[in-house]
Amino acid sequence: MPVLASRIILVVMVCGSSLVLFTNLYALRKAKRLESAGVRVEGECVGHYRPSGGYVGAVCAYSAGPGQELTVRSSRCSVAPVETDDVVEVVHGPGRPERAMLLFEASARVGYDTALSVVTGAMWMSATAGLVFAL
């Protein structure tokens, strides 16, 4: 019975780490593409929003063309990432100005997603090797 339990745990680890890894690799690819090929525009912090849990995020407005004023929200943080009226750089997809991120978040996201992908990939490889040797 202990062998069956260890196989079940390994299968769960392989499936779980696969889901996290593929989702994270998709987000990494998207952030890298946005950072390298995105259109950079200047924006301004127009306010803050407060989701639950004591966090705060910034709401920034930017112009994607004549008569096309849009807003983007930052990620939620424990301290406001920018203050109201601060100038920020916004990056949006070419031809899709409604899909935007604050540039400093896109850059940080690439580093975070890369590190998480390496850790999750190592966990997936270990669980897969354990599953193969357990058979």
| 77-85 average pLDDT score | 89
pLDDT in tens, 85-130: 999 999 998 888 888 888 888 777 777 778 888 899 999 999 999 8
How long a stretch of residues is the chain? 135
pTM, two decimal places: 0.68
Cβ atoms of residues 120 and 21 within 8 Å: yes
Residue among 58, 68, 116, 121 nearest 88 (CA):
58
pLDDT in tens, 12-40: 999 999 998 888 888 888 878 888 888 89
- Confidence grade of residue 44 (pLDDT, cut at 50, 70, 90): very high
The rounded distance, in Å, linking the Cα atoms of 21 and 10 is 16
Question: Residue 55 has what DSSP assignment?
Answer: -
Q: Residues of 56-72 as b/e, b for ≥16 C-beta within 10 angstroms? A: ebbebebebeeeeebeb
